[in-house]
Amino acid sequence: MRLSGLGSAISPAELFNLDKDYIMEKAIFTQEPEKFKRDPDGSTVFRWDIAPTKIDEVDHFESKECRIYGTPTQENIEKGALEAQYPQVDQNNLVHDNLKSMIDIGQPTTEYVGFLTERQRIKALVAEYFTIAPMKTEPVVSEVSKKLI
């Protein structure tokens, strides 16, 4: 686990050299973090599952987060958050294993059903954020919202 906000920005070219744990971080904060944050390097950080926690008797917040390069559209953020939890190779393996299970026993695998459930949950979280984003005052969010409206 790595603390967020310690100069952790990376370039898109560096993404090819990263392992799964670096792409989706379990971030820890002393104050409740923003769900959507634009970094000076041009990337966007999306945080979800933000929850209060205690570390050494001190109140903190923890969340999952992923960094998205490029235009922070609803589709890009959904894809980034999903691929942070399930890299494309893992998604392909889940689909393959599920197809094999459907052929062999006529039932989907538990892992595939879990993946579909998590995908729907992430899509709902991102959609909810983009639905309420026009009410926020952050300039980057307003620009994104205007493109969606």
How many domains does one find in the chain? 1
* Residue 4 lies inside a defined structural domain of this protein: no
* Residue 7 lies inside a defined structural domain of this protein: no
* Residue 1 lies inside a defined structural domain of this protein: no
Residue-wise pLDDT tens digits, 109-131: 999 999 999 999 999 988 888 77
* Residue 6 lies inside a defined structural domain of this protein: no
Domain of residue 16: give its range: 12-148
Q: What are phi and psi of 53, to 5 degrees?
A: -150, 165
* Residue 140 lies inside a defined structural domain of this protein: yes
Residue-wise pLDDT tens digits, 2-44: 333 333 344 444 444 444 333 566 788 888 888 888 888 888 8
